Amino acid sequence: MAWRMLAGTCSNGPCPTLWVDDETGRVKVQGDKTDPVEPMPDHEGIVEFSPEHWRTLLEQLPRELLQELLAAKAA
């Protein structure tokens, strides 16, 4: 697997980031650790973003990906 940064909030250091494996399509999310809002399995975790970081990450996503996801939701 070769992980590629899909979107990030800074250029020099660990920051909220979205990573994608182009081969499998799997995604990893990096953010601030936080507590879950409801019970969850031990193998899962929750990260949190500020509104500004969330907006920055979304703005960097490829337009084609967003259009594909919105079209699938509308169908």
Torsion angle (degrees, nearest 10) of CA 53, 54, 57, 62: -160
**pLDDT of res. 47:** 93
DSSP state of 43: T
**pLDDT of res. 74:** 87
C-alpha to C-alpha distance for 59 and 1, rounded to whole angstroms: 25
pTM of the prediction? 0.78
Q: List the chain pLDDT tens, one digit each, 75 residues.
A: 789 998 999 877 789 999 999 999 899 999 999 999 999 999 999 999 999 999 999 898 888 888 988 898 888
Burial class (CB in 10 A: 0-12, 13-18, 19+), 16: buried
**Where in the chain are the domains?**
3-74
